[in-house]
Amino acid sequence: MIELVLGGARSGKSRYAEQVANESGIPVIYIATAEAGDAEMQVRIEKHRQDRPEHWKTIEEPIKLADVIQQYSSSNSCLLVDCLTLWLTNILFDKQGKEQQSLFERESQALFKVLDVFSGQLVMVSNEVGLGIVPIDKMTRRFVDEVGLLHQKIVSYSDKVVLVTVGLPQILK
């Protein structure tokens, strides 16, 4: 079962995904993709760490998401990925904002290959960023485009898709 959970910033998507994982009744492996580039992001990461149950195993992997999913894939565990948009940022741009096209192509294709053969329970969290205005700069437009395309591709592998708005889950698929 592959489930994609989408929502805007502070929409409740992570809380919803954590509830789904917790209610699975099987051990949860939390795959965190965030990297703390500044103090504010470090605070966000710490809040997420504190909110998770202590008995969940946590894997922090900003780049090699497909490898981790493949390694921990099992019918005896629920994988929770939080979040795809941070992972996409990590593989699409380096720390200076320069594009990493070959890494992006390699890692995104690896993810799709893993999803194609995945068996078990996988819950993936991602930000819905395409509902606003068209960004003014090229880099942000590229990011929004790639997130939208990523979501469309992942939906084709997903058994369930949920959009969370103001803490309310809306089942799309």
For residue range 9-37, what is the model confidence (pLDDT) as tens digits? 889 999 999 999 999 999 999 999 988 88
**Is the model's pLDDT at 96 over the cut of 90?**
no
- With cut-offs at 50, 70 and 90, classify the pLDDT of residue 73: very high
CATH number attached to the domain at 2-171: 3.40.50.300
> Does the active-site annotation cover 55?
no
Name the phi and psi angles at 10, rounded to 5: 60, 35
**Is the model's pLDDT at 98 over the cut of 90?**
no
The model's pTM:
0.93
173 with 160: CB under 8 angstroms? Answer: yes
Say what the pLDDT of residue 18 is: 95
Pick the catalytic residue: 12, 35, 48, 104?
48
83 with 31: CB under 8 angstroms? Answer: no
Chain centroid to CA 60: how far? 12
- With cut-offs at 50, 70 and 90, classify the pLDDT of residue 118: very high
Task: For residues 69-89, give the mean pLDDT.
Answer: 95
Domain ranges of the chain: 2-171
